[in-house]
């Protein structure tokens, strides 16, 4: 199929490719695993995070590139790269990253763990007692659930689940029926643990582990009685996991999505990982079966799924090898007041996670469920997890007769099944469950309570930059605002009306809302700073986000830079903007901060002729957030809280010289080296805001 080349709207040398920028982010995460100042078990965790991130990168990003190539597309992106050119560069970069990752694991992290008494035993090093224990484990726990499949006309190649562990076995000889196909596949059920701890009494170290792959390698011959095993090779296939629901065909989104989820595990293959001992013949056979090329083959000197090591830091009880624990703090406004409604009536309350606790949000919903004066609860849910205390409070509120409405985003990637399950549970108790607006993901984080008081009905609102997910609030940096400001409450009520009903969008007083106005209002605020600079007035833009990709916003930032506006951007992940280019962006600095916590809050600060406008948001400056999602950016109106956002959410990150990386104009990054006093934004905030302080 032929596709003409589309001309990008803006000069291609203005932009860094999104996918190549994402891979630069993986390099920064990998650098945390290489950093000897990071606790050892946390270094192992960072190494696993890189593998998890790359899995999703292949499932979504690489699968999209390969689909464009399959359709014959030659359309270039904003950066000028065609799909074919991009795939070549992505493949080359990922191969390098994975080679560095395994080198770091095998040559640095595993030897360091062994010195600490944490060892992953190779088969060649097992003692006789360990061999006996492993054999008993294989016979009792592993062998009964395995189904070896010999490949012949009556036994075709089995369906291989996405990211599952499998073994390709080369055999010699004939079986009881005279068959001699020479090959078999053994699939490791997901119920089996991939890492097994050996009993202390048969080991010389405190923590001795073996891999399931080592156990199966050692005893695979017992699955093929009378046959000679010539080789046994781990392999793993990553598949396209993007979901597609046709807007023209769908009648019931939840039912349609359930059907799609069943096929997610069997999408088109996009990557094949094999152990580096795999024979050339078997590697080629697997590539041919999965319709992949050599560029899609990743040979690993070790287990093919490092994500499985993520559990090890939780199993090993060595506090000295982990980050020091801390107790999240509470704002002074909530320290001694038992009535959270009274506290919010007195003043707006800002929560800064994970340094401050998410408990006030849970307490607010718990109080609402129990308070007879609360008559209605409305909430958006994007990600909340399979076990959520917030959802349980909503269930209890509905059981107590309150009007509960939940806008549940069924298309939250990789959380679809959990959200469908919650939809069923909520509907069973009478909650009004809607799925927002088809074609637009509901990503805004909104909670509104309507309470009957002496003065009439009053709205209490929580707006956040992060998900209503109590677990991730312990690891993600986010802001949350509790307020009963009447005008903000009216804006939030209007957004809920759009999400559950029908009608034209109304002009909101304070919130900037996507997909109607958020991008235009961001660009207008940038342009206003540029106008101020041209007029000789003071100007300033500071923004923090996860990703910066939308081309018109980037062009507006370039224009503001050329007008003389000082611009500081803290962008954790992908950034398409080129900073520091003479004549284009010499007044723009971009940095990324990678540390103990995942930087997640979005903060937009404009000088605005001394007004210092500060907005918090769930939205990155990306096309999807601006035009294909329902998002809000909300202002911090209280001057005291506005100063806090700048002091806590921006200044420490601009001054960080320990965990900050400066972006160069070619898309690469250079780590900041401490000169004089070391300053880590996350450590500073822990010291100032946690209860330990």
* pLDDT digit string, tens, across residues 447-484: 999 999 988 999 999 999 999 888 889 999 999 999 99
Is the pTM higher than 0.85? The answer reads yes
What is the phi/psi pair of residue 567, to 5°? -130, 125
Q: pLDDT tens across 482-529, in order?
A: 999 999 999 999 999 998 887 777 889 999 999 999 999 999 999 999
- The pLDDT of residue 249 is 43
On the question of pLDDT at 239 being above 50, the answer is: yes
Q: Is 465 exposed, middle or buried (0-12, 13-18, 19+ CB in 10 A)?
A: buried
Q: pLDDT tens across 47-71, in order?
A: 999 999 999 999 989 999 999 998 8
Q: pLDDT tens across 404-438, in order?
A: 998 887 765 555 666 677 778 788 888 888 877 77
Q: Which residue has the higher pLDDT, 68 or 553?
A: 553
pLDDT > 70: percent of the chain: 92
- The pLDDT of residue 245 is 44
Question: What CA–CA distance (Å, rounded) separates 590 from 666?
Answer: 12
- The pLDDT of residue 71 is 86
Any idea which residues carry the catalytic annotation? 443
- Which CA distances in Å does 641 have to 178, 481, 613? 79, 9, 12
- The pLDDT of residue 248 is 42
Cβ 451 vs Cβ 458: under 8 Å: yes
- The pLDDT of residue 427 is 80
On the question of pLDDT at 574 being above 50, the answer is: yes
Q: pLDDT tens across 182-225, in order?
A: 788 999 988 899 999 999 999 999 999 999 999 999 999 898 88
Q: Is 2 exposed, middle or buried (0-12, 13-18, 19+ CB in 10 A)?
A: exposed
Q: pLDDT tens across 103-126, in order?
A: 999 999 999 999 999 999 999 999
Q: Strands of 112-191 (E only): list them.
A: 118-120, 149-150, 166-172, 183-187
Q: pLDDT tens across 398-411, in order?
A: 999 999 998 887 76
- What average pLDDT score do residues 128-154 get? 88
What is the phi/psi pair of residue 530, to 5°? -65, -40
State the number of CA atoms in the 13 A half-sphere of 676 facing the CB. Answer: 3
- The pLDDT of residue 175 is 63
Question: What CA–CA distance (Å, rounded) separates 571 from 553?
Answer: 14
On the question of pLDDT at 250 being above 60, the answer is: no
On the question of pLDDT at 531 being above 60, the answer is: yes
Q: Which residues lie below 8 Å from residue 339, measured CB to CB, with a gap of 6+?
A: none
Cβ 652 vs Cβ 685: under 8 Å: yes
- The pLDDT of residue 560 is 98
Question: What CA–CA distance (Å, rounded) separates 34 from 359?
Answer: 34
Average pLDDT, the chain: 90
- Which CA distances in Å does 517 have to 54, 520, 631? 34, 5, 10
Q: pLDDT tens across 578-589, in order?
A: 999 999 999 999
* b/e map 67-91, b = 16+ CB within 10 Å: ebeeeebeebbbbebbbeebbeebb
* Residue 254 confidence class, pLDDT cut points 50, 70, 90: very low
- What average pLDDT score do residues 594-613 get? 97
On the question of pLDDT at 161 being above 50, the answer is: yes
Q: Is 378 helix (H, G, I), strand (E, B) or coil?
A: strand
Domains annotated on the chain, with CATH: 1-115 (1.20.58.310), 148-323 (3.30.1840.10), 338-507 (3.30.870.10), 513-689 (3.30.870.10)
- Which CA distances in Å does 530 have to 209, 583, 654? 59, 15, 21
Q: Which of these, 366, 381, 322, lies nearest to 499 by C-alpha position?
A: 381
> Residue 118's beta-bridge partner residues?
207
Q: Which of these, 418, 376, 419, lies nearest to 394 by C-alpha position?
A: 376
Question: What CA–CA distance (Å, rounded) separates 562 from 583?
Answer: 7
Q: Which of these, 457, 439, 441, 459, lies nearest to 449 by C-alpha position?
A: 459
- The pLDDT of residue 424 is 80
* Residue 256 confidence class, pLDDT cut points 50, 70, 90: very low
Other CB atoms within 10 A of residue 327 CB: 10
Q: pLDDT tens across 286-337, in order?
A: 999 999 999 999 999 999 989 989 999 999 999 999 999 999 999 988 876 6
- The pLDDT of residue 43 is 97
Alpha helices (H) along 138-273: 212-219, 253-264
pLDDT > 90: percent of the chain: 72
Question: What CA–CA distance (Å, rounded) separates 253 from 110?
Answer: 47
Q: Helices H, strands E: what count in the chain?
A: 22, 27
């Amino acid at each position: 199929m032929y596709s003409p080349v589309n001309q990008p709207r803006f000069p291609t040398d203005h932009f860094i490719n999104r996918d190549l920028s994402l891979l630069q982010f993986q390099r920064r995460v990998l650098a945390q695993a290489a950093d000897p100042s990071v606790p050892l078990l946390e270094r192992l965790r960072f190494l696993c995070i890189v593998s998890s991130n790359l899995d999703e990168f292949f499932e979504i990003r690489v699968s999209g590139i390969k689909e464009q190539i399959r359709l014959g597309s030659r359309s270039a992106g904003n950066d000028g790269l065609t799909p074919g050119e991009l795939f070549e560069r992505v493949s080359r970069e990922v191969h390098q990253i994975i080679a560095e990752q395994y080198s770091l694991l095998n040559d640095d992290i595993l030897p360091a763990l062994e010195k600490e008494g944490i060892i992953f035993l190779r088969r060649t090093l097992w003692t006789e007692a360990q061999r006996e224990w492993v054999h008993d484990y294989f016979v009792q726990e592993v062998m009964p659930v395995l189904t070896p499949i010999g490949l012949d006309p009556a036994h075709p190649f089995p369906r291989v689940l996405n990211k599952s562990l499998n073994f390709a076995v080369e055999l010699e000889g004939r079986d009881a029926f005279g068959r001699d196909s020479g090959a078999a596949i053994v699939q490791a059920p997901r119920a089996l643990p991939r890492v097994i701890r050996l009993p202390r009494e048969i080991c010389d170290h405190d923590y001795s582990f073996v891999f399931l792959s080592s156990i199966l390698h050692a005893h695979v011959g017992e699955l093929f009685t009378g046959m000679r095993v010539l080789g046994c090779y781990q392999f793993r296939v990553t598949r396209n996991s993007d979901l597609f629901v046709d807007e023209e065909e769908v009648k019931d989104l939840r039912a349609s999505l359930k059907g799609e989820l069943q096929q997610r595990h069997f999408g088109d293959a996009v990557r094949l990982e094999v152990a580096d001992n795999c024979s050339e013949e078997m590697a080629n056979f697997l590539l041919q079966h999965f319709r992949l090329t050599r560029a899609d083959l990743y040979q690993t000197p070790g287990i093919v799924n490092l994500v499985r090591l993520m559990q090890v830091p939780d199993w090993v009880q060595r506090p000295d090898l982990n980050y020091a624990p801390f107790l999240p703090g509470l704002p002074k406004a909530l320290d001694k007041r038992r009535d959270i409604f009274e506290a919010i009536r007195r003043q707006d309350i800002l929560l800064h996670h994970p340094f401050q606790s998410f408990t006030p949000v849970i307490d607010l919903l718990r109080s609402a469920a129990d308070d007879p004066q609360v008559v209605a609860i409305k909430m958006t849910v994007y990600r909340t997890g399979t076990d959520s205390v917030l959802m349980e409070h909503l269930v209890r509120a509905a059981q107590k007769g309150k009007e509960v409405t939940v806008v549940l985003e069924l298309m939250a990637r990789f959380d679809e099944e959990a959200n469908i399950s919650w939809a069923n549970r909520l509907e069973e108790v009478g909650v009004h469950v809607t799925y927002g607006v088809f074609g637009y993901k509901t990503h805004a984080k909104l909670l509104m309570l309507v309470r009957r008081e002496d003065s009439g009905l009053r709205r209490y609102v929580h707006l956040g930059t992060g998900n209503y997910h109590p677990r991730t609030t312990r690891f993600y940096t986010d802001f949350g605002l509790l307020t009963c400001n009447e005008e903000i409450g009216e804006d939030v009520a209007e957004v809920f009306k759009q999400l559950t009903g029908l009608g034209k969008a109304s002009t909101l007083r304070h919130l900037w809302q996507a997909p109607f106005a958020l991008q235009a209002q961001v660009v207008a605020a940038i342009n206003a700073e540029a106008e101020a600079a041209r007029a000789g007035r003071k100007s300033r833009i500071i923004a923090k986000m996860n990703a910066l990709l939308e081309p018109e916003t980037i062009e507006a930032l370039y224009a503001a830079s050329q007008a003389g506006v000082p611009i500081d951007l803290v962008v954790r992940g992908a950034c398409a903007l080129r900073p520091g280019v003479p004549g284009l962006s010499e007044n723009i600095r971009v940095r990324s901060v990678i540390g103990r916590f995942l930087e997640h809050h979005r903060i937009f600060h404009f000088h605005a002729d001394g007004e210092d406008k500060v907005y918090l948001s769930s939205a990155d400056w990306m096309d999807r957030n601006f035009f294909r999602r329902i998002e809000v950016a909300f202002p911090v109106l209280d001057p005291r809280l506005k100063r806090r956002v700048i002091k806590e959410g921006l200044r420490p990150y601009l001054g960080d010289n320990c965990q900050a990386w400066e972006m160069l104009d070619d898309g690469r990054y250079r780590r900041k080296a401490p000169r004089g006093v070391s300053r880590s934004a996350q450590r500073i905030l822990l010291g100032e805001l946690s209860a330990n302080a």
